[in-house]
């Protein structure tokens, strides 16, 4: 992954979020406060502006800038969580061109950052429930000899399955936890946006 | 859903412009999105700031002024403010004696305030954070994000604000804020959902003869749904939840707020207050101070929250101290 690919990834995320804003908001309306779609759209459109401004040399520069922009534009729970994730991913991608192994460890750093800040574990009905299987699938594909594109494709599938699996969970973190058992039967908005982020990575890595 | 909007994306900016135009005692920075006092104070005192999603007006901007907050940082509708904004409010409130952050206990607010507190610390500003978590509808357990901060925020901001005004130090202001929160309990019931400008649709569908019991202030559904009952019965449910969480003795003195969630007329709020005071009178509990009106709203949701604070002499004295803000004003 080089700076151009990192930039393409962020642009693809912005496009996907734009297309799914309403879906994310409706999911958040069922078990949260109906702002996740608007939050993510505001954040990633700010990222497009931030990236357009400056020449960025490495994928790390692009993704650290993305994380910082998310933190200063999103708010809510998603801003600090995704912002910290992208900053951590970026910090782990210092060179001009990262190989698939390095991308794996960067994605893992991102997940660690989310867990450190939010203290969620798998099964809590959060971002972590899509992110964790995505990283595992990415790693497994590399283990089996696949490259970046194949790993990203598997990660996207796993993230989507992980997001769907949140439907039957009872939330233990975030706003949805206030609903107790009434949070069951709805897919988690944050896990859904995480799946979009991994799908975007899969799309740009095959180009 | 019809709303007075120019565009859903500009609702906060447009409302802040209106707030600035309406209240010359406030200074509104439309770029940084912070609300501060226009005049002083010009002496060293502990700064008090709060913030959170918009849609709860007059919270928090309406409580900026002498005797209460030094600054507020409103986020987008129902979305916590971002760290830069909170940092800007912290800087504005800092007069060398440190700043207290009053944070309602929501995951997003807690994270963004924490990041801002770290940034402020890096700049040498001493920050103490006080979490407000008074809503007894949520069990404080490992199965939830902890209790929500709701009505007690008004009590905390008023009483801690008065203490800061009289010259208390940073730890003293934080300490009384924590004590007020610990002594307060709230419970809310909704008759209708509300619609955020961005979503355009109500947060939930509620049949005409049903109510949501144990709601928060973000348009989310409550703990359970019940058939609409008489006001006396609904108040009994709420007061049961409040008083079983913090039993009160006949010797106790209380500050009681009946707060409208945005779409309930004062007529009904007073009717509810009558029922609340009857419940307390029945138990011999003294209602020492009262507040009835719309103070912590949830857009246009019809509903009511009840907050009861077991107040000691110091809290009552600070409650009575002069306050001069757009939404609370007495003694000055
Ligand atoms: N502790 C946590 N760890 C990981 N993810 C979390 C946590 N808490 C919430 N989330 C995720 O955040 C998503 C909600 O993000 P959103 O942008 O709607 O913020 P919010 O919860 O409404 O913030 P706020 O508390 O300020 O209103 C949830 O769907 C969930 O996936
Ligand atoms: Mg939300």
Q: Return d(Cα B186, Cα B306) in angstroms, integer.
A: 5
- Look at A58-62, B50-54, B195-199, B295-299 and tell me which has the smallest mean pLDDT: B195-199
- Judge whether B218 counts as a catalytic residue: yes
Ligand that lies nearest to the alpha carbon of residue B103, given by its number in the listed order: 1
Question: In terms of CATH architecture, what is B10-167?
Answer: 3-Layer(aba) Sandwich (3.40)
Instruction: Calculate mean pLDDT across residues B81-93.
Output: 97
Between chains, do B223 and A180 touch, taking CB under 8 Å as contact? Answer: yes
- A3 interface with B at CB cutoff 8 Å: no
- pLDDT at residue A54 tops 90: no
Residue owning tokens 């407000």: B132
Mutational pocket test of ligand 1: of A24, A77, A187, the residue with most ligand atoms within 8 Å of the beta carbon: A77
Averaged confidence pLDDT in chain A: 96
Q: Which residue has a Cα nearest atom 16 of ligand 1?
A: A36
- Judge whether B23 counts as a catalytic residue: no
Q: What is the DSSP string of B253-267?
A: EEEEEEEE-BSS-HH
Q: Write down the pLDDT at residue B75.
A: 97
Query: Out of 3.40.50.300, 3.30.1180.20, 3.40.50.720, 3.10.129.10, which CATH number does the structure's domain B184-322 have?
Result: 3.30.1180.20
- A118 interface with B at CB cutoff 8 Å: yes
> Helix, strand or coil for residue B123?
coil
Q: What domains are defined for chain A? A: 3-205 (1.25.40.340)
Between chains, do A75 and B143 touch, taking CB under 8 Å as contact? Answer: no
Q: Write down the pLDDT at residue B142.
A: 78
Instruction: Calculate mean pLDDT across residues B167-189.
Output: 98
Averaged confidence pLDDT in chain B: 96
Local confidence band at A55 (pLDDT 50, 70, 90 cut-offs): confident
- pLDDT at residue B141 tops 80: no
* Residue-wise pLDDT tens digits, B157-167: 999 999 999 99
Q: Write down the pLDDT at residue A43.
A: 98
Instruction: Calculate mean pLDDT across residues A178-189.
Output: 94
Tell the burial category of A118 from Cβ atoms under 10 Å away from its Cβ (0-12, 13-18, 19+): buried
Contact B159, B314 (CB under 8 A): no
Between chains, do A118 and B81 touch, taking CB under 8 Å as contact? Answer: no
Distance from CA of B173 to the nearest CA of A (A): 27
The pair of three-digit structure tokens given for residue B28, joined into one six-digit string: 């509104």
Q: Write down the pLDDT at residue B280.
A: 97
Taking contacts as CB-CB distances below 8 angstroms, the residues of chain A near B106 are 77, 175
- pLDDT at residue B12 tops 90: yes
Exactly one of B23, B56, B101, B163 is catalytic; name it: B56
* Residue-wise pLDDT tens digits, A119-149: 999 999 999 999 999 999 999 999 999 999 9
CB–CB contacts below 8 A, A to B: 122
Nearest-Cα residue of chain A relative to residue B145: A173
- pLDDT at residue B188 tops 80: yes
Instruction: Calculate mean pLDDT across residues A12-33.
Output: 96
Of the candidates A83, A85, A84, A105, the residue with the CA atom closest to the CA atom of residue A94: A105
List the domain boundaries for chain B. 10-167, 184-322
């Amino acid at each position: 992954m080089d700076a151009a690919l990192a930039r393409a990834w962020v642009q693809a995320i912005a496009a996907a979020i734009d297309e799914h804003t309403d879906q994310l908001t409706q999911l958040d309306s069922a078990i949260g406060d109906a702002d996740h779609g608007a939050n993510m759209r505001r954040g990633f459109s700010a990222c497009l502006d931030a990236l357009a401004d400056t020449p960025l040399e490495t994928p790390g520069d692009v993704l650290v800038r993305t994380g910082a922009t998310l933190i200063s534009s999103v708010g809510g729970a998603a801003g600090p969580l995704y912002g910290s994730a992208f900053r951590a991913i970026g910090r782990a991608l210092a060179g001009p061109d990262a190989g698939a192994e390095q991308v794996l460890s960067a994605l893992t750093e991102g997940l660690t950052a989310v867990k450190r800040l939010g203290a969620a574990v798998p099964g809590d009905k959060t971002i972590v429930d899509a992110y964790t299987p995505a990283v595992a699938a990415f790693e497994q594909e590399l283990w089996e000899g696949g490259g970046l594109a194949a790993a990203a494709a598997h990660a996207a599938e796993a993230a989507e399955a992980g997001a769907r699996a949140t439907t039957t969970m009872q939330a233990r973190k975030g706003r949805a936890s206030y609903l107790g058992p009434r949070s069951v039967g709805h897919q988690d908005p944050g896990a859904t946006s995480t799946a979009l982020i991994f799908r975007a990575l899969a799309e740009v890595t095959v180009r | 859903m019809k709303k007075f909007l120019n565009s859903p994306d500009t609702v906060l900016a447009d409302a802040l412009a209106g707030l600035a135009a309406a209240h010359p005692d406030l200074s509104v920075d439309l770029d940084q999105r912070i609300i501060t006092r226009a005049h002083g104070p010009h002496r060293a005192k502990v700064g008090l700031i709060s913030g959170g999603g918009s849609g709860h007006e007059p919270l928090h901007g309406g409580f900026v002024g002498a005797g209460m907050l030094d600054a507020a940082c409103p986020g987008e509708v129902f979305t916590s403010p971002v760290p830069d904004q909170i940092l800007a409010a912290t800087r504005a409130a800092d007069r060398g004696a440190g700043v207290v952050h009053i944070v309602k206990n929501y995951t997003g607010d807690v994270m963004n305030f924490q990041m801002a507190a770290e940034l402020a610390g890096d700049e040498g500003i001493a920050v103490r954070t006080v979490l407000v978590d008074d809503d007894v509808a949520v069990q404080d357990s490992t199965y939830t994000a902890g209790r929500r901060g709701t009505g007690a925020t008004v009590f905390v901001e008023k009483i801690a604000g008065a203490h800061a005004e009289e010259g208390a130090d940073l730890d003293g202001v934080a300490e009384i804020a924590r004590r007020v929160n610990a002594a307060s309990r709230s419970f809310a019931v909704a008759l209708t959902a509300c619609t955020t400008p961005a979503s355009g649709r109500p947060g939930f569908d509620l049949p005409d003869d049903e109510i949501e019991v144990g709601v928060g202030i973000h348009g989310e559904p409550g703990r359970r749904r019940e058939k609409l009952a008489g006001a006396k019965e609904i108040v009994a449910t709420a007061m049961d939840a409040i008083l079983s969480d913090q039993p009160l003795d006949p010797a106790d003195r209380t500050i009681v707020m009946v707060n409208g969630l945005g779409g309930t007329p004062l007529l009904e709020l007073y009717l509810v207050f009558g029922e609340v005071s009857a419940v307390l009178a029945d138990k011999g509990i003294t209602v020492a101070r009262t507040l009835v009106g719309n103070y912590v709203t949830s857009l246009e949701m019809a509903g009511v929250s009840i907050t009861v604070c077991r107040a000691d002499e110091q809290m009552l004295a600070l409650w009575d101290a002069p306050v001069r803000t757009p939404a609370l004003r007495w003694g000055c």
